[in-house]
């Protein structure tokens, strides 16, 4: 298994993984316009996508968006889009990908990552290294 920051040459494969992820959490399937916006965000370094690859297949993904946080008065990040394809589950891939992302964040000077999750996923994220509870995470969206 190879862990790397997404190369845009793999963007079409990423689209398949993102569609599967969104469907698995009962969110709307991304449109072509959504994917165009995602590509632009990647090109503008607004989001970093990390993937696990086996041979030519994308097996898992997650993203990090950089922020500045007064949690520890340093660069931080928001960890999202965490998904392991069903064919690659139960082999430790989630832990390996998360460990890779943590090491990449350290190299970039990111001192903390935030993750929002459903109650059912709290223990999984704790086992992956997200240990400090910060209350509830809510979002606002200009619709």
Helix, strand or coil, per DSSP, at residue 129: coil
Counting Cα atoms < 13 Å in the Cβ hemisphere of 17 gives 25
**pLDDT band for position 137 (cuts 50, 70, 90):** confident
Q: What is the pLDDT of residues 26-67, one digit of tens each?
A: 999 999 999 999 999 999 999 999 999 999 899 999 999 999
What is the per-residue pLDDT for 84? 97
Give the pTM: 0.93
What is the per-residue pLDDT for 76? 94
Alpha-helical runs (H) found in the chain: 11-24, 32-43, 93-107, 122-128
Output b/e per residue, 91-119; b: 16+ Cβ within 10 A.
eebbeebbebbbebbeeeebebbbbebee
State what percent of residues in the chain have pLDDT above 70: 100
What is the per-residue pLDDT for 138? 79
What is the rounded CA–CA span in Å between residue 23 and residue 49? 19
Considering only CA atoms, which of 35, 39, 44 is closest in space to residue 16?
Answer: 35
Q: What is the pLDDT of residues 10-21, one digit of tens each?
A: 999 999 999 999
């Amino acid at each position: 298994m190879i862990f790397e920051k997404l190369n845009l040459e793999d963007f079409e494969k990423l689209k398949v993984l993102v569609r599967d992820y969104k469907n698995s959490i009962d969110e709307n399937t991304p449109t072509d316009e959504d994917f165009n916006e995602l590509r632009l965000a990647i090109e503008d370094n607004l989001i970093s996508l990390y993937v696990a690859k086996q041979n030519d297949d994308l097996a898992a993904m997650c993203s990090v968006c950089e922020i500045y946080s007064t949690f520890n008065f340093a660069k931080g990040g928001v960890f999202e889009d965490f998904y392991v394809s069903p064919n690659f589950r139960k082999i430790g891939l989630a832990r390996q990908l998360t460990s890779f992302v943590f090491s990449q964040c350290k190299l970039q000077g990111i001192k903390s990552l935030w993750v929002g999750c459903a109650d059912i996923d709290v223990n999984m994220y704790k086992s992956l290294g997200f240990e400090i509870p910060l209350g509830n995470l809510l979002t606002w969206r200009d619709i």
